[in-house]
Amino acid sequence: MFSTTPNNALSYAIGIPARFESTRFPGKPLALLAGTPMIAHVVQRALEADLGQVIVATDHQGIADVAKDAGASIAMTRADHQSGTARLAEAMSDIDVDVVINVQGDEPLIEPQAIRDVVIPFTHQVDLQMATLAHPIRQAADLDDPNVVKVVCNAVGHAMYFSRASIPYPRSQDALTQTNTLQHVGLYAYRKDFLLQYNSLAPCQAEHSEQLEQLRVLYHGYPIAVTVGNYHCLGVDTPEDMQRAELLLKQNKTSIHKQ
């Protein structure tokens, strides 16, 4: 059982892994969103969270230059990382910090409050290694959408499982109306030592099947705390997502129903 001794003296750093190459949207960190490169929007949101140093981890000089101009520190990393988590681990290896927050480089509308909330469990669970966010699912169609990741939590707010399938599955009409399905928000925080350890954990079959790297953590027996709130997110994976993000910025809204 985890300890609940309060600890409000933790130090934090926000890491933003960003690579130029992308199968579906090459160069997306530098794509213009309302006239500003997307990575600059992400940096600005991270700075507004006001939790500590904001570090962009990248292997591309153009991304580094834009991020630095936006106010971030820069960590130049290898080009061969297979995940943003691995890139972030390299960038944070020499940073003296307790908790690292992983803000995706393609989340230009991430809310500063969400970044602040993801670290709350660390302040009273001293043995906790990893945390993330979720919100109640908002559209019925998202239940069966594999692009919308669902999460089921236990009584203490730790994730039991993440899936692209509809979980928990409602076997009756009553269950369908009573189930409060949670949509995962792809924002993570880690104890720094655990972030550095993550890549040494062997992948598992569920991770390969679902294409969800957080399942590796559960497979090896580490809890992931899930803070539930009214969060909104828009991960930009395609040029079409960029158009949706620009529309939301113009409307001065951040409500979106896709992970």
Q: Sorting pLDDT into bands at 50, 70 and 90, what band is 243? A: confident
Angstrom distance (rounded) from CA 231 to CA 20: 27
Looking at 71-149, list the stretches that DSSP marks H as alpha helix, in order from N- to C-terminal side: 84-92, 112-117
Question: Quick one: tokens of 227?
Answer: 């803070």
Note the pLDDT tens digit of each residue in 5-49: 445 689 999 999 998 877 667 788 998 988 899 999 999 999 999
Statement: residue 183 has pLDDT above 80:
yes
Query: What is the mean predicted confidence (pLDDT) over 102-121?
Result: 93
CA dist 251 → 34, 49, 77, 108, 256 (Å): 12, 22, 36, 15, 12
Name the most confidently modeled range: 9-13, 80-84, 178-182: 9-13
Angstrom distance (rounded) from CA 208 to CA 37: 32
pLDDT of residue 256: 38
pLDDT of residue 164: 95
Query: What is the mean predicted confidence (pLDDT) over 219-233?
Result: 93
Is 242 in contact with 33 (CB distance < 8 Å)? yes
- Across the chain, mean pLDDT equals 88
Angstrom distance (rounded) from CA 114 to CA 101: 11
Lowest mean pLDDT among 53-62, 212-221, 238-247: 238-247
Give the global pTM.
0.89
pLDDT of residue 2: 42
Looking at the chain, list the stretches that DSSP marks H as alpha helix, in order from N- to C-terminal side: 38-49, 61-70, 84-92, 112-117, 173-178, 192-198, 205-210, 214-219, 239-250
Q: Which of the two residues, 4 and 239, has the higher pLDDT score?
A: 239
Q: Sorting pLDDT into bands at 50, 70 and 90, what band is 78? A: very high
Judge if the upstream peptide bond of residue 37 is cis by omega within 30 degrees of 0.
no
The CATH class given to the 12-250 domain equals alpha beta
Distance of CA 228 to the CA centre of its chain: 14
Question: Quick one: tokens of 38?
Answer: 């997307």
